[in-house]
A and B are shown apart, each in its own frame.
Chain A
Amino acid sequence: MAVAVGRQSNEELRNLSLSGHVGFDSLPDQLVNKSTSQGFCFNILCVGETGIGKSTLMDTLFNTKFESDPATHNEPGVRLKARSYELQESNVRLKLTIVDTVGFGDQINKDDSYKPIVEYIDAQFEAYLQEELKIKRSLFNYHDTRIHACLYFIAPTGHSLKSLDLVTMKKLDSKVNIIPIIAKADTIAKNELHKFKSKIMSELVSNGVQIYQFPTDEETVAEINATMSVHLPFAVVGSTEEVKIGNKMAKARQYPWGVVQVENENHCDFVKLREMLIRVNMEDLREQTHTRHYELYRRCKLEEMGFKDTDPDSKPFSLQETYEAKRNEFLGELQKKEEEMRQMFVMRVKEKEAELKEAEKELHEKFDLLKRTHQEEKKKVEDKKKELEDEVNNFQKKKAAAQLLQSQAQQSGAQQTKKDKDKKNASFT
């Protein structure tokens, strides 16, 4: 039955006006309800030297004490430690994963320090890509481990970025959303801080490091994001201890010369960081990771594997075709290899057979030789035996003959004597 698929071109979408309340304005709520019941994932990577305050800052941000022992400075290399936590606030469940770089910046030779970090990030992308490429896949309840935000902790030297920082950030900026922060900001005086921040930002720009840009396309958040961006990198202080300020307990660090309050915007930018990271842009961070960084990784990975979207004649080359071509090529290779192996096997078998045959022949020859020798010996022995028998026979004959002679002689003697006797007798008469 022929099918006439008549379709009005989709470009001319008509704008309709509704004459009553339909009710699909509840769609965002429906969507949000679904997501809330599934829960959200958020993964933060903290990159920074040992002892710079990563764990403390995480504790302060999420108002809790994540158990961890401070790392030593003796690590042989950089390794990543990931820990997952489930937080719940009103009806929102968040699966938070915090990944720490243990041993970063401690080695004497730091050439390869960035490598484990890049490998970890790539591994998470790879895991997601694998799941996406599966035939039977379950993406909607996949536990997303891709890194959504990377907090880069800059040491508060007051001068400029270290070369390790520049190199590491350059390697990470195309893979993850980087948010640079100045750690332990209470060691820098206010006027130096301003100079330090501008120096850092200009160095980042001149080295072409792409840090995360807070989105300014949507009106409600554009304003707050724009004002906050001016204060990058955020100078933060972390603390889980509380000190009595006025009549309230607040998170702070107590020094002999005063108290640094974490949540006081005059003292440090912690509140700004929390606003930006969690309360305003968490969803955007997740989306950027998925639509920009992950897609870039996927594209590179697939191209590396040999897939192309267009062939040299720039005709659109479907992935399917390339895939099939590659698959056939691969199968061909496999077959070739199999043939080769089979040939080799057959050859080996032949060789072995020939060897065995040789051995067998040798054995046969030996056997024959032995047999012949044996026979010869046997013949000799028999000859000897015969000889002996002959001798014995001869001897017997001789003996018999001798006996006969003797008996004959005796008989003839007896006869003779008898004859003689007779003669004698005869003579007597």
Chain B
Amino acid sequence: MSELVPEPRPKPAVPMKPVSINSNLLGYIGIDTIIEQMRKKTMKTGFDFNIMVVGQSGLGKSTLVNTLFKSQVSRKASSWNREEKIPKTVEIKAIGHVIEEGGVKMKLTVIDTPGFGDQINNENCWEPIEKYINEQYEKFLKEEVNIARKKRIPDTRVHCCLYFISPTGHSLRPLDLEFMKHLSKVVNIIPVIAKADTMTLEEKSEFKQRVRKELEVNGIEFYPQKEFDEDLEDKTENDKIRQESMPFAVVGSDKEYQVNGKRVLGRKTPWGIIEVENLNHCEFALLRDFVIRTHLQDLKEVTHNIHYETYRAKRLNDNGGLPPVSVDTEESHESNP
């Protein structure tokens, strides 16, 4: 009879408490070359990154993504055929690209959600999004649980969700709160104030304060979550971002204009040119540095180590310790002798 209960963990030879030796004093060994080795390996395999943008239509989602990645990543809605109606339901569109910079290859997937918040009755419009996110976790879990696993499991899990807040200047809408409440538990949410060029500096800072307060009052943990700060250094750095900069008030643009002899991305208005990458004008540069240059790996790790693990644990627990059977593979079982 084959036992399902795993055998009791055999006792390996118990290593003594590690002895700390500072080898700097005794001559160079070469352990620090592992950093180079690791870097070479990761550059060869490349990276995956999946970013989702959520917000009502017309808030500038596609423009912002194009500005972030300095290329035509999303087709803008305004360039759609006029005959195409606004979708009646929330659709999920994932488009993959391969971009390369400095020898680093990245497979970027932008997940768009047209139709979100656009209907008259928007009840439960976050459900398709939540379902999509959970489906990606499920896909990954299935691959991981296989006996003969792939060397590198393709990662389609959503690493980051940019939520676009409409710049009303007052406070968050009920739809915003509902969405973020539901989704902050399954994915990293980064709230962004869209079209920030409609607010003056004072309006902007007041709005941001109000939004922060409302998020706190409603118990919404956006990325970077307080509970996942690993050490003091992270904590102070993230605290600063959480309490002062977020949510980032951004302006997006993919057109270039001449300002002071330089070509910069911006928006031309009768009263001046709004420079996208100028920190005095908007916080796009902060968002870009935050998401891409400093916290990209951390976004992926929080998704993998925390959100995915939570999903997995819940899945395994709900089914009494085993992943559920999928509907389409329900064939006759063979009971093993």
A residues with a Cβ closer than 8 A to B are 1-8, 10, 13-37, 40, 61-64, 66, 79-92, 94-95, 97, 99, 119-120, 122-124, 126-127, 130, 133, 135-137, 139-140, 145, 218, 220-221, 274, 278-284, 287, 291, 295, 298-299, 302-303, 305-309, 311-313, 315-327, 329-330, 333
Q: What's the minimum C-beta distance from A46 to chain B, rounded to whole angstroms?
A: 13
- B296 contacts A87, CB within 8 Å? no
Whether B23 pairs with A25 at a CB distance below 8 angstroms is no
Would B26 and A63 count as touching, CB distance under 8 A? yes
User: Which residues of B are in contact with A by a Cβ distance under 8 Å?
Assistant: 1-7, 9-24, 26-35, 37-44, 47, 49, 68-73, 87, 89-99, 101-104, 106-107, 124-125, 127-128, 131-132, 142, 145-149, 151, 230-231, 288-289, 292-298, 301, 304-305, 309, 312-313, 316-317, 320-326, 329-331, 333-336
A24-B296, A318-B142, A320-B326 known; A282+B4 contact, CB < 8 A: no
Q: Which of B4, B96, B97 contacts A330 (CB 8 A)?
A: B4
Q: Are A283 and B106 in contact, with the CB atoms below 8 A?
A: no
Contact partners of B321 in chain A: CB under 8 A: 135, 327
Closest CB of chain A to B282's CB: distance in Å?
17
In the complex formed, the residue of B with least CB distance to A36 is B35
CB distance from B145 to the nearest CB of A (A): 5
**Are B13 and A99 closer than 8 Å at their CB atoms?**
yes
A67 nearest in chain B by CB position: B19
Interchain CB contact (< 8 A) of A323 among B5, B128, B323 = B323
Q: In whole angstroms, how far apart are the Cα atoms of A7 and B5 in the complex?
A: 41
A16 touches B322 (CB 8 A): no
B262 to chain A, nearest CB (A): 12
B-chain residues with CB within 8 Å of residue A24 when the two chains form the complex: 47, 49, 99, 101, 104, 106, 292-293, 296
- Contacts A123-B12, A305-B2 aside, 7 further interface pairs with beta carbons under 8 A come to A1-B124, A18-B99, A22-B70, A24-B49, A84-B18, A284-B41, A327-B4
Do B15 and A97 touch (CB < 8 A)? yes
CB <8 Å contact, A19 and B101:
no
Which B residue's beta carbon lies closest to that of A29?
B39
Given A88-B24, A135-B317: A8 and B127 interface contact (C-beta under 8 Å): no
A8 touches B93 (CB 8 A): yes
Provided the pairs A140-B305, A320-B324 are in contact, do residues A63 and B15 lie with their beta carbons within 8 angstroms? no
Closest Cβ of chain B to A83, distance in Å, is 6
Cβ–Cβ contact B335 & A307, under 8 A: no
Q: Once the chains bind, are B98 and A16 in contact (CB under 8 Å)?
A: yes
Q: Which residues of B contact A123 (CB under 8 A)?
A: 9-12
8 Å CB contact of B31 from A7, A92, A315, A316: A92
Expressed in whole angstroms, the minimum distance between the Cβ of A101 and any Cβ of chain B is 10
Which residues of chain A come closer than 8 Å to B101, judged between CB atoms? 18, 21-25
A135 with B147, Cβ < 8 A, contacts A34-B298, A81-B13, A86-B20 known: no
**Also in contact, A319 and B1, with CB within 8 A (given A3-B90, A24-B292):** no
Say whether A4 contacts B28, CB under 8 Å: no
Contacts A7-B94, A21-B101, A320-B323: A92 and B32 contacting too (C-beta < 8 A)?
A: yes
From the candidates B39, B90, B149, B313, name the one contacting A136 in the complex (CB within 8 A): B313
Contact A320 B145 (CB under 8 A): yes
Contact present for B14 and A86 (CB under 8 Å): no
Q: Find out whether the CB atom of A320 lies under 8 angstroms from the CB atom of B13.
A: no
Q: Is A6 in contact with B32, judged by CB distance below 8 angstroms?
A: no
Let me know if B326 and A124 touch, CB within 8 A.
no
| C-alpha gap A363/B251 in the complex (Å) | 101
Residue of A nearest to B104 (CB): A25
The smallest beta-carbon distance between A35 and chain B, in angstroms, is: 6
**What are the residues of chain B within 8 A of A318 when measuring CB–CB?**
142, 325-326, 329
Tell whether, in the assembled complex, residue B336 and residue A22 are in contact, meaning their CB atoms are under 8 Å apart: no
A150 to B304 CA separation, bound complex (whole angstroms): 31
Q: Are A325 and B335 in contact (CB under 8 A)?
A: yes
Bound form: Cα–Cα A95–B330 in Å: 47
A330 to B6, CA, bound (A): 13
**B29 contacts A87, C-beta separation under 8 Å:** yes
Task: Pick the residue among A35, A126, A140 that contacts B38 (CB under 8 A).
Answer: A35
A16 surroundings in chain B (CB, below 8 A): 69, 71-73, 97-99
B34 pairs with A23, CB closer than 8 A = no
A4's nearest neighbour on chain B, judged by CB, is: B91
Is the pair B6, A130 in contact by a Cβ cutoff of 8 Å? Answer: yes
Q: In the assembled complex, how far is the CB of residue B310 from the closest CB belonging to chain A, in whole angstroms?
A: 10
From the candidates A88, A137, A220, name the one contacting B40 in the complex (CB within 8 A): A220
Taking a contact as CB atoms under 8 Å apart, the answer to whether B41 and A287 are in contact is yes
Residues in B with CB closer than 8 Å to A25 are: 101-104
* C-alpha gap A135/B6 in the complex (Å): 14
Residue of A nearest to B128 (CB): A3
**Is the beta-carbon distance between A1 and B97 smaller than 8 angstroms?**
no
Which has the most chain A C-beta neighbours within 10 Å: B20, B89, B334?
B334
> Using Cβ atoms and an 8 Å threshold, which residues of chain B touch A299?
147-148
Q: Which residues of A contact B324 (CB under 8 A)?
A: 320
- B326 in contact with A87 (CB, 8 Å): no
- List B contacts of A30 (CB < 8 A): 294-298
